[in-house]
Structure 1
Amino acid sequence: MPRFLFLTLLLFTRLALGQVAPVGNNPAAGKYAMVRGVKLYYEAYGTGAPLLLLHGNGGSSKDFQKTVPYFAKHYRVLALDSRAHGKSVDRTDSLSFEMMADDCAALLTQLRLDSAYVLGWSDGGITALVLAQRHPGKVKRLAATGANLWPDSTALTPDLWQQMKRGYQEGRTQTFTDPTRRNDWKVFLLDWRHPHISPASLAKVKAPAFIIAGDRDVIRAEHTVAIYQNLPRAWLWIVPNSGHATLHEHADEFNRQVDEFFRAKSVPVPAR
């Protein structure tokens, strides 16, 4: 039996039994694309306007278990494993948000998509902002939750910053021979060394943006507000009783609010 037919029958059988393969590990939805020398893994769901989902540091498309079912009803959802994450195969030595943003733009081009809505969590939110800066035509609108512009104690909470400093001190003198540990260190260094986005440079973001964070987020509230204030057109939502995982802790409301933003006819200019 051809592989495609087998996977289709498997998916229908699971649906009939109420068993749907989890996001991030769904053979019927998973695909690979060779993009800029990296074998990127993504899963595609639904039909409609394209929506690109971008996960956080050390995560994968699995992080969108509570996101995909909602948006797949009205969007063509593309849940991506960023380079060096999940099932994506990346044998390069370096990693930056600029590289990941360029990957996103190239993937959309390869899929013959002029542009997409973008929803990013944590590092994914940073990538969404950088994508909108470097490839403005590729982003219809973006929602970013738990994003930061630079890596230090003015952007991150003291606990997280101290934890990262300890992680760097413990790892900087080690020699990583195991490929998995070497990749994990590369992923850690991404957040230790990056990003470096000036507030003024956010003026380059022409797409309307929805800036989100929990009121107990690991990103300082004043930093999130500064991101919002420096964007040309933006909404701001500080989610009550929430930490960094706003899209998990308040999934139903989060999905509705982001969808409302994507569908809104206009986005006001932030108060300066």
Structure 2
Amino acid sequence: MKACLLAFGFLLCHLLASAQPAIPYGHNPAAGHYQLVRGVKLYYETYGQGLPLLLIHGNGDNISAFAKNIPYLAQRYRVIAVDSRAHGKSVDAGDSLSFEMMADDFAGLLTSLRLDSAYVVGWSDGGINALVLAMRHPKKVKRLVATGANLWPDSTALMPSLWRQQQRGYQENKNVKFTDPKRKNDWKVFCLDVFQPNIPLAALKGVRVPALIVAGDRDVIVPEHTVAIYRHLPRAWLWIIPNSGHATLQEHADDFNRKVDEFFRAKTVLPPAR
């Protein structure tokens, strides 16, 4: 009888836990805020307590991209997940968009939150933003993790199939006059990756903070390009994740979360600047 009661109790606890509604990351009023930064109302959500950790998503995405990462990271950090300008709830009516603009936004957001600096994790375009933020606002970044980032938009950086797809999409739509605000914004976001970034490898020498450069072994970023980014950063580590595509932080969330946390908390002496 006692064994049956214990088994029932475990089953009941499991059912109650599974009945709890999932947190709607990216659409969570309990954690969501707006901050006017450089003419754009940036939407962000905060979770947990501790040292600040800024999460930056990829092209066409939003905060929900980090749904598998925030619960773990919020146990140790004050997670600040933000919708980049022209993405998610961060509406941007302007015609232009660049990684430099977005990096300045993130620096401005940290300043508005009275934060001198933060750890930074960026995925895809967010990885590019993490690097650009460290280049343009070095004092704002404690350490950074960039997964699936590229420095320029051609077939030497992107897998040829992706590059051809982007070029075809641009050629087919470049003369379309978009009148619907959403489609116009989507086109602006799409063109961001067609023409940008344009960062010379030599510019990475200016990133003095420790950086963990990540990619999947089946990423859409050419492996040699990821290795080149790592080699040109003065204080960097490289992690190529086996059996992974571009979505490293989703496909291998448990390993990714632990590795990121270990990297940020490491007390070991950093290698000398190269």
1:115–1:139: 8 Å Cα contact kept in structure 2?
Answer: yes
User: In 2, are the aligned partners of 1:126 and 1:148 still within 8 Å (CA)?
Assistant: yes
Would the alpha carbon gap of residues 241 and 269 (structure 1) be closer, same or farther in structure 2, given more than 3 Å must change? farther
TM-score normalised according to structure 2 size = 0.92
Q: What one-letter code is carried by the residue in structure 2 that aligns with 1:30?
A: G
| Structure 2 runs not aligned, ≥5 long | 1-15
Residue among 70, 77, 85 paired with 2:72: 70
Q: CA deviation at 1:267?
A: 3.4
Q: Is the 8 A contact 1:53 1:77 kept in 2?
A: yes
Q: Secondary structure at the match of 2:144?
A: strand
Equivalent position SS for 1:154: coil
Q: Which residue among 217, 220, 228 is the counterpart of 1:218?
A: 220
1:134 to 133, 136, 161: 136
Contact 1:235 1:268 in 2 (8 A): no
What is the letter of the counterpart of residue 89 of structure 2?
Answer: K
Q: Distance in 1 between matches of 2:270 and 2:216?
A: 21
Inter-partner Cα distance in structure 2 for 1:102 and 1:242: 31
**3-state SS in 2 of match to 1:144:** strand
Does residue 206 of structure 1 match 2:208?
A: yes
**Residue aligning to 1:118:** 120
Of 260, 266, 270, the match for 1:267: 270
The residue correspondences of 1:29-44 to structure 2 (distance < 5 A) are: 29-44=31-46
Counterpart residue type for residue 218 of structure 2: R
Mark the CA change 1:195 to 1:179 in structure 2 (over 3 Å): closer, same or farther.
Answer: same
SS at match of 1:117: strand
Partner SS state of residue 202, structure 1? helix
Between the aligned partners of 2:194 and 2:23, the Cα distance in structure 1 is 34
What SS does structure 2 have at the residue aligned with 1:53?
A: strand
Name the aligned partner's letter for residue 121 of structure 1: W
SS in 1 for 2:184: helix
In the other structure, the counterpart of 1:196 is 198
The residue that corresponds to 2:12 in the other structure is none
Q: Which has the larger radius of gyration?
A: 2
| Deviation at residue 20 of structure 1 after TM alignment | 3.9
- Determine the structure 2 residue equivalent to 1:241: 243
Specify the alignment match of 1:5 in structure 2: none
Amino acid at match of 2:208: K
Q: CA deviation at 1:256?
A: 0.4
SS of 2:71 mapped into structure 1: helix
One-letter identity of the residue aligned with 1:93 = D
User: How far apart are the structure 2 equivalents of 1:94 and 1:258?
Assistant: 33
Contact kept, 8 Å, 1:235 with 1:267, in 2: the verdict is no
- Note if 1:228 corresponds to 2:230: yes
Offset of residue 25 of structure 1: 1.0
- The structure 1 residue matched to 2:54, chosen from 46, 52, 55, is 52
Amino acid corresponding to residue 249 of structure 1 in structure 2? E
Judge which range, 144-153 or 15-24, deviates more.
15-24
1:27 is aligned to 29
Identity within the alignment, %: 70
TM-superposed CA distance for 1:268, in Å, is 2.9
Q: Is 1:122–1:147's contact at 8 Å kept on the other side of the alignment?
A: yes
Cα drift, residue 16 of structure 1: 11
RMSD of the alignment, in Å? 1.5
Equivalent residue of 1:59, what SS?
Answer: coil
Aligned twin of 1:6: none
Q: Distance in 1 between matches of 2:171 and 2:218?
A: 26
Give the CA deviation at 1:94.
0.4
Distance 1:98 1:156 in 2: 20
Contact 1:234–1:269 under 8 Å retained in 2: no
Residues 176 and 267 from structure 1, CA distance in 2 versus in 1: closer, same or farther, beyond 3 angstroms?
Answer: same
Q: CA deviation at 1:89?
A: 1.4
Secondary structure at the aligned position of 1:78 is classed as strand
Q: CA deviation at 1:21?
A: 2.5
Residue number in structure 2 paired with 1:97 = 99
TM-score between both structures, scaled by the size of structure 1: 0.92
Matched AA of 2:214: I
Cα distance in 1, alignment partners of residues 164 and 92 from structure 2: 29
CA distance in 1, matches of 2:25, 2:134: 26
**Structure 1 unaligned blocks of 5 or more:** 1-13
Residues 52 and 78 of structure 1 are in contact (CA less than 8 Å); yes or no, is this contact kept in structure 2? yes
